[in-house]
Structure 1
Amino acid sequence: MILTGLMYAVFILLPGYVAYAAAGYSVDEKGSFARIIYRGVAVFFVVNALAVICTGTPAAKAYWELLRSTPENMDNLVFIGTVTIYVFGGFTLGWLQLYLEYKTLWSAKKEIKGWLSRGTAVLEVMPGNSLKRIFTCYRLANKKPFVSIYFDKDKCIEGEVLKYCWNGREELLLRHADTCDLLVVDLSKCSMVKFKNIHELGDSFKFKKKEITYLDLIHPGLSELIKEKTES
């Protein structure tokens, strides 16, 4: 009975962990276990729903037989195949979360809210990660950020950002401007990040027959503000 319970725990915890990690989160974060459980239960529900829909097929019959069996008489190949399906389901869920974050939600915001026509006097109040949004815009524009990172008013380093990570804690892989040394910067230890080449995101691309700049993806009207400052 205990081993059977452990099998069910594997079918929930394993895909939940995979989904959580694939979405870019760290299991060391506070409250991560509950979110892992939520994702694992979601994958478990979807897999069982698919098994119900496909009732009568050899795969579904083998799956239901596995759930009814005990560790002593279970089919090891079916167990390994089921674990593989759950891992794949967890990875798909995590990837889908990233896709929604970077593509679908941004597209919906651009299309529904129509903030491009609001002008420059817009104050955005929203949950999210501003750094992640800015670095994503650099990635979409195929540009590398050049930043100045301040730790206090007297200490600053400059360089080109090669990688931005947010797994648990936010970090930058930085190529130092003067020495070309590679530095790993813990963003929780710095006080400010200044983007020196933000104007390079002024390029535009077409979306729904409209011309949109990467700067306006960061904040509506930002391209006009930077253009005014540059021309003045």
Structure 2
Amino acid sequence: MKPIITVIISALLLSGCFYSSFDTYMRKGKDALINANYNEAIKNLDNALIEEPTNKDAIALMKKAKEKKEKSENKKVIDDFTKDTEEMYKKLKSLGDGINTMVDNVTYEEALSKVEILKPMNEKLVELNPKWQDDKVVGEAFSNLVSAYHNLNFTYRLVIESTEQPEPEITTTGNGEVSEFEAVRNRKIQPSLAFVDFRQNMESYKNTINKLKDNNQ
């Protein structure tokens, strides 16, 4: 009986010798990668590359592990950012709905009301600014949202201003100076330009978020 046990133990010990440190690290790295434990995967694959620095499989797995880790981290950032800003985006969109491109269907009273609604949103943006302004993943989207807010607010304030200030009499000059007619025309077109910028900002925000989500699945 003893010889049989000795043979079995010897066989097990001998089989263990076929698993080098490199093989062990690779196996652990693969298992960790499958389980989405990217830090553990990178740690083991790094050890495997110390053993065999030019091994193509280890290099490829390390690249994959780092890419997966980056996407996982980016996804969390995008999810957190969306939670912080999605409601504001929806609010801005609702405040801009129904306005035509020339902004000539906005009444003075409506503009006053919308400016008051917009005021608390500025405080929220100021609060979020340190968190998201310089973020390498969503900084651009945050910048678009901030610009959208300011352009919509500017649109309504221009409507208010143009209503409260009487239009000057239309006169023309022949000496190259800006005429009163030109001043009136500029006052009428400024709200429209600000509103067009608002729409572009909103579109850029949404497109950026959608692209980030698609790229980090």
Q: TM-score, normalised by structure 1?
A: 0.17
TM-score scaled by length of structure 2: 0.18
User: Which structure carries more helix by proportion?
Assistant: 2
Q: Which has the higher strand share?
A: 1
The structure with the larger Rg is: 2
Larger relative contact order, structure 1 or 2 (CA cutoff 8 Å, min sep 6): 2
